[in-house]
Amino acid sequence: MSRPTAFNPRTHTIGLGRDLLACTVPERPDPPIAVDGVTFGVAEMSGNSPHGGEMHPDGDEVLYLIAGRARVVFLDTDDDDIEMRPGDGLVVPKGVWHRVDILEPCQIVYLTPGPNNQFRPLQD
């Protein structure tokens, strides 16, 4: 961006391209709009994601819980699930399948690499 730009995190996320220049991207439920770089946003979640897990092959994902409680469940690995409380941060390694289960309505900051994110369908 060439000028300071305010944005509403309820309606937009920020895409940082590989050149580290920012642009606003409309917020939407998964799958999000793909960004060739990193997506920065704040999600307000009261229910689990509409998918059965996600994986980010382009890099590590960073999560920071502002409010509420959530559990990050790691799939296809022996890693223990991690419960997050306000003030907790978590790095989900590149290529690890995971999902976020909401234990209490929460607000979570995310920094997600892209554009090649993958999502599994929900199981019945």
Q: Tell me the C-alpha to C-alpha distance, in Å, between residue 5 and each of 1, 16, 45, 82, 89.
A: 8, 14, 25, 35, 27
Measured in whole angstroms, how far is the alpha carbon of residue 25 from the centre of its chain? 14
Total number of residues shown for the chain: 124
Q: Measured between alpha carbons, how far is 26 from 12 in angstroms, rounded to an integer?
A: 4
The pLDDT tens digits for 1-23 are 678 989 898 888 999 999 999 99
Q: Which domains does the chain have, with CATH numbers?
A: 12-119 (2.60.120.10)
The pLDDT tens digits for 38-54 are 999 999 999 988 889 99
Instruction: Output the pLDDT for position 28.
Output: 79
Residue where the block lists tokens 């961006």:
1
Stated pTM of the model: 0.92
Residue where the block lists tokens 């997050």:
84
